[in-house]
Amino acid sequence: MINITLPDGSIKEFPNSPTGADIAKSISEGLFRNCVAVEIDGEIKDLNCKIEKDARVRLITTKDKDALGIMRHSAAHVMAHAILCLYKQAKLTIGPIIEDGFYYDIDMEPVSQEDFLKIEAEMQKIIKAKLPFARKEIGKKEALEFYKEDPYKTELISELEDGTISFYSQGDFTDLCRGPHVPHTGFIEAVQLTKVSGAYWRADQKNDQLQRIYGTAFFSQKELKAYMRFLEEAKKRNHRKVGAVLDLFSFHDEARGMPFFHAKGMEIWNTLLDFWRKEHKKAGYIETKTPLILNRKLWEKSGHWENYRENMYTTKIDEEDYAIKPMNCPGGMLLYGLKPRSYKDLPIRAAEIGLVHRHELSGVLSGLFRVRAFHQDDAHIFMTEAQIHDEILGVLRFAEKIYSTFGLDFHLELSTRPEQFIGTDEQWETATSGLEAALKIYNKEYKINEKDGAFYGPKIDMHIEDALGRTWQCGTIQLDMSLPERFDLSYIDNRNEKVRPIMIHRVIYGSVERFLGILIEHFAGRFPLWLSPVQIIILPINDEIIPYAEKVKAEFENKNFKVEIDKRTESLNKKVRNAQINKIPLIVTIGAKEKEADTLSVRTLDGKVKYGIAKKEFIDKVIDNISDKNLKLIF
Q: In this structure, which long-range contacts are made by residues 226-233, counting pairs with CB atoms below 8 Å and at least 24 apart in sequence? A: 227/100, 228/192, 230/468, 231/194, 233/468
The catalytically annotated residue of 505, 514, 562, 575 is: 505
- Residue 9 identity: G
Q: Which residues are CB-contacts of 595 (< 8 A; sequence separation ≥ 6)?
A: 545, 548
The answer to whether 81 is a known catalytic residue is: no
Q: Which residues are CB-contacts of 273 (< 8 A; sequence separation ≥ 6)?
A: 353, 512
Burial readout 216-248 (b: 16 or more C-beta within 10 A, e: otherwise): bbbbeeeebeebeeeeeeeeebebbebbeebeb
Distances (CA, A) of 113 to 76, 119, 194: 17, 10, 8
The catalytically annotated residue of 81, 212, 370, 459 is: 459
CA dihedral over 315, 320, 326, 332, signed as positive or negative: negative
Residues 467, 404 contacting (CB under 8 angstroms): no
The catalytically annotated residue of 264, 280, 358, 562 is: 358
Distances (CA, A) of 574 to 442, 571, 586: 52, 5, 16
The answer to whether 535 is a known catalytic residue is: no
The answer to whether 411 is a known catalytic residue is: no
The answer to whether 603 is a known catalytic residue is: no
CA dihedral over 275, 278, 280, 285, signed as positive or negative: positive
Residues 565, 538 contacting (CB under 8 angstroms): yes
- Helix H or strand E encompassing 474: strand 471-480
Residue 105 CB coordination number (10 Å): 23
In DSSP terms, 374 is beta-bridged to 356
With CA atoms as reference, report the closest residue to 328 among 298, 365, 304, 355: 355
The catalytically annotated residue of 81, 181, 380, 595 is: 380
The catalytically annotated residue of 170, 192, 211, 376 is: 376
The answer to whether 280 is a known catalytic residue is: no
The catalytically annotated residue of 329, 427, 514, 595 is: 329
Q: Which residues are CB-contacts of 280 (< 8 A; sequence separation ≥ 6)?
A: 287, 351, 379
Backbone angles phi, psi at 135, to 5 degrees: -95, 140
Q: What is the separation, in whole angstroms, between the first and last Cα of the chain? A: 74
3-class secondary structure per residue, 284-347? CCEECCCCCEEEHHHHHHHCHHHHCHHHCCEEEECCEEEEECCCCHHHHHHHHCCCCCEHHHCC
The answer to whether 262 is a known catalytic residue is: no
Paired sense of beta strands 586-590 and 599-604, if any: antiparallel
**Would you give the distance in Å from CA 499 to the centre of its chain?**
38
The answer to whether 610 is a known catalytic residue is: no
Backbone angles phi, psi at 54, to 5 degrees: -55, 140
Backbone angles phi, psi at 100, to 5 degrees: -115, 15
The catalytically annotated residue of 377, 378, 466, 480 is: 378
Instruction: Please list the active-site residues.
Output: 329, 358, 376, 378, 380, 459, 505
